[in-house]
Structures are given as structure tokens and as C-alpha cells.
Amino acid sequence: MMKNRRASTIIVGLLLCCLVGGASARDTTTAWPDTPVGRLEALALLQTFNADLLSHDSATLTMERWCGDHHMAEPAKISAQRVTGEDKPLPDDLRTQLAIGPSEPVRYRRVLLRCGSHVLSEADNWYVPSRLTAAMNEQLDHTDTPFGRVVLPLHFRRQTLDAKLLWSPLPAGWESADNALPAGQGTLSIPHQVLQHRAVLYAADNRPFSTVIETYTEQVLAFPAPAGR
């Protein structure tokens, strides 16, 4: 786990080395201290998680690994909780990405992806049912199985259109000598939404069949510090 904490950018790693000597141990709850080191560690972890998502085609499997590596649930298995009763229209730019005409049917599925008690992601998914098998459509219509697991037989690849941090633990201009990092004594306030990806999924025949907007929550940081920190 310590290795994961240091697997961010070289700059962040160097800053951690400089500051870690004066750091107090983080509480073993999921609260993050509002200190320079606490903020740097939170950023390092968010960037590591972001890089892991960007380097793999299945966000579901990536979240399962993250959950397992940080002992957030046993077993570390992602489950989807469907949110029913709402239907969001497909954004025009994403219809273009799917290479479909205005009359092509598109289905919408919103799910909360959780590992144990932690909701890690809120996903808005639009997919083209004619490009999936009947069994896949049946499973998507009547079960809570995560989309990525349902379509695994398509041997899909993922093209990320946009990835952005919705929250940074470090204030703008923190690297300037005139803007020292906060040195509070309380708990770091983390907003509900911390990271968002927009992506298109392509089948093995290179046809796009789904587009997704995934919003990751503060629960991706909901694990205790390693023993001895």
C-alpha cells in the first residue's frame, strides 16, 4: 500500500519525502488530516487512481483492484445499484461519437457502483442495444450486473474523451513561495465528487456501442492509513 501511495508523479513524490518527517500519523478512520502532507497524499492517491483508470479498458475491474488493494471490502467485488425512474437524453456530441443517426434507439442506464458499503462511482451509461446480444440486453434490463462485466464477451476497448479532477487537495498556486500550503489541525473537507471521466466503448470489430460519464466520489479515499503511519 505504501508503494501505491508513492506511485504518483516525481514532483509529488519528492514533496512527500521532504514533508513526511514532520507528519503526524493519520487517524485510522477514513478522515484525512488537513495538513500539507495529508493534502499531498490525497492528491497522490487521486492521481494514481486516475492513471489506473486511464490505462485499463474496464473501470469495473479497475475499481475492484483498487478496493482490494486498499482492503475496503471483503470480498472486493463491484456491484451495481440501478437508479430507476429517470432518463437523461444522450448529449449530441456523444451521439456523434457512437456513429448513429438521430432515429437509432439508445438506452439509458444509471447505476451506483459500490464495493462493500462504499459507492465509488455514479455512472450515466447510454448504449446501442442493436450492437449488443439479446442475452446482454436482457441482463442489462433485468439485473444489477455492472455494464462492464455484461459486455466483457465483446472484448471491448475504451477510448477516454475527457478526464478531469473535480477537486484538488492543493489550492491554486500552491507551488509558489507566496502561497504556503494550509497547515490546519482539523479534518480535510472532501467534496462528494472528486473525478470525472467521459468515454466511449468499442467492440472488437471497432464499432462503438456505449458511451459513459463516470463520476467518482470521495469514497475512493475511504480507507484507513497503513499500520505504523
Give residue-wise pLDDT tens across range 98-127: 999 888 999 999 999 999 999 999 999 999
CATH class of 2-221: alpha beta
Q: Which three cell numbers stand for residue 137?
A: 440486453
Q: Is the confidence at residue 210, as pLDDT, over 70?
A: yes
The share of the chain scoring above pLDDT 70, in percent, equals: 80
Q: How far is CA 139 from CA 126, 143, 150, 157, in A?
A: 15, 5, 7, 20
What pLDDT band is residue 184 in, cutting at 50, 70 and 90?
A: low
Q: Determine the pLDDT at residue 68.
A: 95
Q: Is the confidence at residue 1, as pLDDT, over 70?
A: no
Amino acid at 178: D
Give residue-wise pLDDT tens across range 131-140: 999 999 999 9
222 burial via Cβ count (<10 Å: 0-12, 13-18, 19+): buried
Give residue-wise pLDDT tens across range 42-61: 899 999 999 999 999 889 99
Q: Determine the pLDDT at residue 10.
A: 37
Q: Determine the pLDDT at residue 30.
A: 63
Q: Of residues 182 and 90, which shows the higher confidence score? A: 90
- Residue among 118, 111, 119, 117 nearest 145 (CA): 111
Q: Answer whether 111's CB lies under 8 Å from 146's CB.
A: yes
Give residue-wise pLDDT tens across range 73-97: 999 999 999 998 878 888 888 889 9
Q: Determine the pLDDT at residue 15.
A: 39
The share of the chain scoring above pLDDT 90, in percent, equals: 58
Q: What is the pTM of this model?
A: 0.79
